[in-house]
Structure 1
Amino acid sequence: MKDYFELQYVLTNRKIKEAGLNPLLGYLLALTAFVLLSEYIFQKTEFSKYFVILTCLSLQFKLSEKNRTDFLLSTFGDKTKMRIRIIENLILYMPFFSILLYKSFIIEASILFLCSIILALFSFHSNFNLTIPTPFSKKPFEFSTGFRKTFLIFPVAYALTVIAINVDNLNLGIFAFLLVFLTSFSYYHKPEQEYYVWVHAETPKVFLKNKVLNASKNTTLLAIPIIISLLVFYPSEFELILVFFLIGLLFLWTVILAKYSAYPGEMNLPEGIIIAFSLYFPPLLLAIIPFFYTKSINKLKYLLND
């Protein structure tokens, strides 16, 4: 078991070094970004504690994926596998526990602790054989495949909107609206194989423009029921709702361009830190978007005709 965690530590350090950072500096930057982002979320919404809990559980859920736990079982045996999973979940739990404790949410931190232990005892399939119809075409593939994996989030977001209107809580409606955008961001986390970029008979500029336009259109399609509902019941907050919508689009463009600025590799620590700081101070996006755009153009030139 000790060898397993030492290996994970070495692999993590290697990824940070590949990003061009000293591992110690990488950890410090990640910690700083986490603290600033957490503080920002707690300042902006009264539902921040639930967001923190859901974020922690979603990360732990990925560690409980069946193929992964089956590998641990076959390699280490049942008892050691269970210990590894509990320790992994507790390691992930600690930063979220710290922020909840700092904000005096002791009960929520205790509940999250119990959920972390319980979640370590189970394995989950990440894929289902049920074919879910989508309102999206196969192009772009991100939304057709991503929607099927996350389709349950959207009824939850729409239900939260209804609840927000019934209890007259605009903040909850905004949270539901942002939940749709956060889900759309997740579709652009992993880079596709180079072949799926190469097949586009386009210049890098046209390729990126189409990616951004299609993503904006599809995300708007998913968010429009929430937007219209909030505008109907909170017409006096038109400007606020519009600002959140535009900021959501800017972050969507940033995530897409960040993905291709690191292509064919995955987005790494530098991109993540830049995006995290822009969450804390959104005006930074006006400089970050051109920066990622220029890097993306250069990264795609070897696959697409200029």
Structure 2
Amino acid sequence: MAKWLLVDGYNMAFRAFYGMPELTRADGFPTGALHGWVKTMWRLQDQEKPDAMVVFFDLGGSQDRLALHPEYKAQRKETPEPLEKQIPVIKELTRAMGLVGVELDGVESDDLVAAQARTLAADGHEVLIVSADKDFAQCVDDRIKILLPPPTANPKLGWRVLDAAGVREKFGVPPEQIAEYLALIGDTSDNIPGINGVGPKTAAKWFEEFKSLEGIIAGAAGLKPDRFREAVAQNADRLRLNLKLTTLSGRSPLPAVPRGEPQPAKLLPLLVAMEMKSTLAEAEKRYTGQTELF
């Protein structure tokens, strides 16, 4: 069976943008994120040696989640303009590199990644989800793991694989309870309000004792610290709604995504147009075995 890397496109694009200096083309068009993006994709290919690698992008919001919670992700800042300009080129580069570049209007890329990962795992493949997004911890099992990028605050840690034991160590609950755990404590990055004051340690203790979110709701009268008893009981419906927001889809509206093939005839001229000389030289070697084609 094959090894697949499924890349959270926007998560990695933001990291490429903030991890590189403000490089520009001669006419002022920003290119820093482009350099960072290509180098990151190549590093992942060289490091993990996958049989296939697919990148997923967001294209519009999650219509299902917005219908349930209109404030979903409403607090997020606008994408910086220099990065916004580079996103279409990042997508072009991705497809020309043979990394497909999947997106679907109205469906979050997280759901597309989760569904693809579970489909591949069910067919016996090994899957690495490349992202720093904690939501993906709910997908982890014997065949699906997360490849975490180096943390911004401590890049020396490097890329790390998060397996089921790592999920439990990191969050205090196993992968199958992550969605419920996030529903309880909330997720500020997605603007999902949890029970005020309930943090990771308290939540982990409750799951250890009551086994599930419904168990916690049913046992609200016996929760400790007792100051949370009324809040949990009164917000039972809110917690159930949260769970619908934090649960990633197991089904994809798209057919299984095929492996892609590099297209040097598209990639190399694009790198020329972006004036990415050092990246062009590396691409020529990687994809053609020649140099100075352009």
TM-score (norm 1): 0.25
* Larger strand proportion of the pair: 2
Q: Identify, as 1 or 2, the structure richer in helix.
A: 1
TM-score by length of 2: 0.26
